[in-house]
Structure 1
């Protein structure tokens, strides 16, 4: 019997869709699920693709069915279940075999797993997969972290199943150990910010202008034909125009305003803090979801505090809509700039040498944050891969200048009318702080020196690092 080119464990929705994608692209795949009935049903439902699939009921048969060195995708719940599955696999594996975690793993777990296999002749790949169920089935964006040799073993299969942008595959090897999962984490952090910003604009249109869901969907649809063209804008239009089959009301109007999260946004913020990088728009988006979850508290607070009254409606509705469009574009630039800055810092920290132009390229199709915008980011990083920040590249510095005024006006309007816009506001503050050569942290340094003798540097370079605050601090040198 012909052996499979790759194996997959875990036939949940994502695992099943990824397996069908692999088979459909002409790759023979062996599949295994802990519950045998799930494997049987998956195979029965595979139809014309059955010839490319080897269903296995035992671990022994599964291992025998894969051509060595065996790449095995583990598509199960992240965390301890992955460690448990790895331990179950190890006794059956041979030298050079590769275990591949394709879930939303914390990159530090990936690094730990990679290290735990040192000296065992086995290796590990941490593989970020973006695109949801649809992407898994028809072409996701794939971010690979591991040894270059292990990447070469799976490159053909992963290239065949990835999304394509103008014929270019949206997959690549990004570096050793946790590189792939780290990039996927930051992708999700940017996704959080992008979704939050769109929701804030929706809130301004709904609560500030009194527009219906369908009307807002129409606005988003028009914007999606221009520079804001993206998957998230596309689906936002669709969900806003959809009606609830039960009540007949707009679907979004019957959905509880409490957003869930699975952890990757939070990890993005934590790692940004660990790297000493300001990722304020992503932080605001994560905080926004946390506040959204406090539904009963928010309802109680509204009864006690009331909502701020609308000061005034915009006098020129068309000009205001144009400002909203530019404001969203500006804020997105801030979020992406912050995400890439975090990745650049991590690349240095862990010695990954992350290829920024490549990351932007493989996000152009298949993933949730795919957009026209990413083609411009690819171009900017291709011209200067080591630029300090995306917003100082020629193309994006010009975009910031073009959109800054609109973002400032929209944030001001939201503040005056009591309409929450934390991510938009954070993006504006980020721009203002980043481009100010003389900030206000000199006062913070003076305060720190006053109460803790932490010292400071002087603008004139004089070798005197404490102030004349009294209590003997002036004598510190």
Structure 2
């Protein structure tokens, strides 16, 4: 039997679908899973692709089945399992073989692994993959970090299996070492914010306007043909249409309101703080998921405090139009913040992240794919050195056109006790970002008073201290 051109370790949902995708695109793939029965099940279900799949019972058999120099994709749970898998593989591999971690790794772990493998003769790639189960099977967005020469060796297979946008592969080399996994982390942070804002708008329609799920679905369906056209808007409309087969009620009405999270959103928040770049929409979205999990406490709090009385509400298409524009404004804030964090990381780690390329490879395959990303790619192509997406001509115009709607929706939500943390964060972000004279001068005075930290003056250079009458300490 001919040797495989690439291997996949880990046959969970993502790994199995990625392997089938590789075979579907004409490449012979070797597969291995620690649980042998899972490998056997995968091989048995490969169908007409079975002749391009070599199922292996041991790691030794797996390595021997791949033509050198071997590219090996690891698709296992992030963290220690990746390190364990690399340690098990390393003695079996040869110089110039490539280990590709395609899981949701913390980019700092990825950078450590590059360091650990230095001098071993092996090459390492940290690869972000977005698109979920469907994307892995039929074409994900692929974000590669590592040596460019390593990318060139695997580029043919990765571009073949990636999603395509108007014929262009949604796969790219983004920079050295941890660049790919960092971009995937920020992608997921933006995804958190996007989903949270959609949920907030849904909440306004459900709890303030009194709309039922099918009616809200119709609104999202209409929005999917406009500037909000995206995968997340599409699936929101779809899930709101579906009825539970047991109760015959809209299934969204019987789903427990506690959102899960796997850590990438938190990582995005942590890294934004480490870079000193505000990503308030992402922070609000992560916090909202954590609050959603506190169901017993929320129930007790409602019993204790009740809900604010409802104010007079607006009716008709005008408020629906405002909701659409508010969601668009919030989306601009989330993306502007995410790209600003990536810009800071690019400078800190000398990655030279290509922002326009990043937007392009997110246009298909990934969870946040949308029409919006084509506009972002164009904006960064036209103004590659812009400090913030909000300052590009196209997005400045969007902000100006949606600002009033965002303020009305957030104000009405606050008055009626409707939680809109991510949308509210967008208002504060824009207001703080565009105000030349802020209030941090008072914070600097306080810091100097209690800690003698010093401050700068408008009318003199250097560090200064205040003539405080109180005792400093």
Give the TM-score normalised by the residue count of structure 2.
0.98
Aligned pair 1:233/2:233, yes or no? yes
Equivalence for 2:54: 54
Matched residues in 2 for 1:167 and 1:431: separation?
36
Alpha-carbon shift at residue 461 of structure 1 (Å): 2.8
- What's the CA shift string for 1:86-110, capped at 9, x where partnerless? 1110110000111111111111111
User: Which whole-Å CA distance do the structure 2 matches of 1:5 and 1:427 have between them?
Assistant: 47
Is 1:190 aligned to residue 187 of structure 2?
no
Runs of 4 or more off by more than 4 Å in structure 1? none
Give the secondary-structure state (helix, strand or coil) at the position aligned to 1:297.
Answer: helix
| Distance in structure 2 (CA, Å) of the matches to 1:4 and 1:146 | 23
Q: Deviations over 1:43-99 (max 9, x none)?
A: 111111111111112222211111211110011111111111111101100001111
Give the distance between the partners of 1:406 and 1:464, measured in 2 at CA: 43
Equivalent runs, 1:89-238 vs 2, <5 Å? 89-238=89-238
Match of 1:382 in 2: 381
Name 1:328's counterpart in structure 2.
327
- CA–CA distance in structure 2, aligned partners of residues 461 and 47 of structure 1: 76
CA distance in 2 between counterparts of 1:462 and 1:114 reads: 44
1:273-292 superposed Cα distances (whole Å, 9 cap, x missing partner): 00000000000000000000
The answer for the alignment partner of 2:341 in structure 1 is: 342
- What is the DSSP-based 3-state SS (H/G/I as helix, E as strand, rest coil) of the residue aligned with 1:128? strand
Partner of 1:430: 429
Answer yes or no: is the 8 Å Cα contact 2:449–2:470 preserved in 1.
no
- 2:397 & 2:367 partners in 1: Cα distance? 26
- Match runs of 1:236-385 below 5 Å: 236-314=236-314, 316-385=315-384
Q: Deviations over 1:103-155 (max 9, x none)?
A: 11111111111110001111211110000000000000000011111111110
Match of 1:450 in 2: 449
Q: 1:52, 1:309 → 2: CA distance?
A: 64
> SS in structure 2 opposite 1:173?
strand
Separation in structure 2 between the aligned mates of residue 464 and residue 42 of structure 1, nearest angstrom: 67
The reply on whether 1:76 has 2:46 as its aligned counterpart is: no
Please state whether the residue corresponding to 1:155 is helix, strand or coil. Answer: helix
- Post-superposition CA distance 1:15-46 (Å, at most 9, x none): 11000000001111111111222212211111
How far did residue 204 of structure 1 move? 0.3
For 1:10, the equivalent position in structure 2 comes to 10
Q: Deviations over 1:419-461 (max 9, x none)?
A: 0000000011000000111111111111111111111111123
Aligned-pair RMSD on alpha carbons?
1.0
Aligned equivalents of 2:335 and 2:442: distance in 1?
A: 30
Q: Structure 1's 176 and 409: CA in aligned 2 closer, same or farther, altered over 3 A?
A: same
CA distance in 1 between partners of 2:312 and 2:73 (Å):
56
Q: Secondary structure at the match of 1:331?
A: helix
**Secondary structure in structure 1 of the residue aligned to 2:427:** helix
* 2:43 equivalent to 1:43: yes
- Taking the aligned partners of 1:147 and 1:205, their CA distance within structure 2 comes to 49
> 3-state DSSP class of the match of 2:457?
coil
Q: Unmatched 5+ residue regions in structure 2?
A: none
Aligned length: 472
Distance 1:216 1:366 in 2: 26
Task: Show the counterpart of 1:468.
Answer: 467
Contact residue 162 and residue 365 of structure 2 kept, 8 A: yes
Q: Secondary structure at the match of 2:455?
A: coil
Deviation string, structure 1 residues 327-355 (Cα, Å, up to 9, x no partner): 00000000000000000011111111111
TM-score (norm. length: structure 1): 0.98
- Whether the aligned pair in 1 keeps the contact of 2:69 and 2:98 (CA below 8 Å) is yes
Query: Is the 2:3–2:65 Cα contact (8 Å) retained in structure 1?
Result: yes
Question: How do 1:15-30 residues align onto structure 2 when only pairs under 5 Å count?
Answer: 15-30=15-30
Please say which of residues 449-458 and 326-335 is displaced more in the overlay.
449-458
Whole-angstrom CA distance in 1 between matches of 2:366 and 2:311:
40
How much has 1:464 moved relative to structure 2?
5.7
